[in-house]
Amino acid sequence: MKNLQTKSTIVSAAADAGVDYSASPCINVCVMNPHTALCDGCQRSLDEIAAWGGASEAQKRAIWQLIRQRRAAP
């Protein structure tokens, strides 16, 4: 089982290779959805938008991962 976890970690790292997580997800469609409390353009919350400028690389990566999950959700 340990080898499978290592392989999945390697695959995840490869999928992230070359991704610039420091780039803002903003696409200039800044409309907050009252039902989701997320921006319709970038799928971030107001707190995530406000924190972006001072966020560490790890925090930005985490926000991008949340955005991917939100976009993939039905």
For residue 41, with 0-12 CB atoms within 10 Å meaning exposed, 13-18 middle and 19 or more buried, which class applies? middle
Rounded Cα distance between 44 and 33, Å, is: 10
Where residue 19 falls among pLDDT bands split at 50, 70, 90?
confident
Among 44, 46, 43, 52, CA closest to 22 = 52
Q: CA dist 61 to 20, 34, 74, Å?
A: 9, 25, 22
Where residue 74 falls among pLDDT bands split at 50, 70, 90?
confident
User: Is the predicted pLDDT of residue 16 greater than 80, yes or no?
Assistant: no
pTM of the model: 0.74
pLDDT of the residue at 60 = 97
Where residue 59 falls among pLDDT bands split at 50, 70, 90?
very high
User: Is the predicted pLDDT of residue 13 greater than 90, yes or no?
Assistant: no
